[in-house]
Chains A and B, each alone.
Chain A
Amino acid sequence: EAGVVQSPRYKIIEKKQPVAFWCNPISGHNTLYWYRQNLGQGPELLIRYENEEAVDDSQLPKDRFSAERLKGVDSTLKIQPAELGDSAVYLCASSGSTGRPSEAFFGQGTRLTVV
C-alpha cells in the first residue's frame, strides 16, 4: 500500500513569490492534515480536512496561506506571497477515522527555503 505522497521534496524560492505543495493521502483516508515544522521544533497543525471540508483551520495564517482538498482526496497548500519566516518543513498526514484514535500516517514533507 502506498503511503502519503508529497511533492516536491524541496523547494527554494525568493521572498514574495508564490509556492504550492501537493499531498496525496492514503487511499480511503477521509482525514487529511497539514503541519508545519520549523527547524529544531515539533510539527504544528495548520489545517485539518474531513473529506473536502476544512474543519479546523484556526492556525492557518489566512492572509497568505490557503489550502484546498478537491473531491476529498488530494490536497494543495499554497503560500502567496512567501516570507522569510515561512522557511520550514511542511508535513501532510492522513488518517482513516476520527471516531476513535486512529494512527496518523505522515508523508516525507516538503522542505521550503525562502531566500
Chain B
Amino acid sequence: AQTVTQSQPEMSVQEAETVTLSCTYDTSENNYYLFWYKQPPSRQMILVIRQEAYKQQNATENRFSVNFQKAAKSFSLKISDSQLGDTAMYFCAFMRYNAGNMLTFGGGTRLMVKP
C-alpha cells in the first residue's frame, strides 16, 4: 500500500513571496504519478501540477513547480509570486501506474497568503 505524508499542517506566506510545501511518500512501485491538488473553500479539488516518476525533469506550470526526488521519495511544491487566490488547502497525491487512476492523498497543508 502507498502512503503520502504532508508534514506541514499550516503554512503562511506574504503576497508576492515564494513558499514551498513538502510531501513525502512511500511505495514499492517503480512507475507512478504524483500530483498536487488545490482545494479552495468551495471544496472542489483542482489539479495544480503532475509529475511522472519516470521523468527526471521537474514539472512546472506557470508559478508552480515541483522538486521531485525519486530516491528520497520526496515531492515538494514551490509557489512563486504568491497571490491571494492561492489561499487554499493543498493536497499531495499518488497514483499507481495502470491502476485505474485512483488517487492516494496526503493529509493536506493549509496555505494562507497574506496581503
Contacts and interface: CB of A to CB of B under 8 A. Distances in A.
Interface of A: 3, 31, 33, 40-45, 48, 50, 55-56, 89, 91, 93, 95, 97-99, 101-104, 106-109, 111
Contacts of B108: 40-42
B22 to A, nearest CB: 15
A18 B46 CA distance: 30
Interface string B34-67: 0000000011111100101000000000000000
Interface string B87-115: 00001010101101111111110000000
A102 B107 contact: no
26 contacts: A31-B101, A33-B102, A40-B108, A41-B107, A42-B91, A42-B107, A43-B91, A43-B103, A43-B105, A44-B105, A45-B104, A50-B100, A91-B45, A93-B45, A95-B101, A97-B101, A98-B98, A99-B98, A101-B95, A101-B101, A102-B101, A103-B50, A104-B47, A104-B103, A106-B45, A111-B43
A44 B45 CA distance: 13
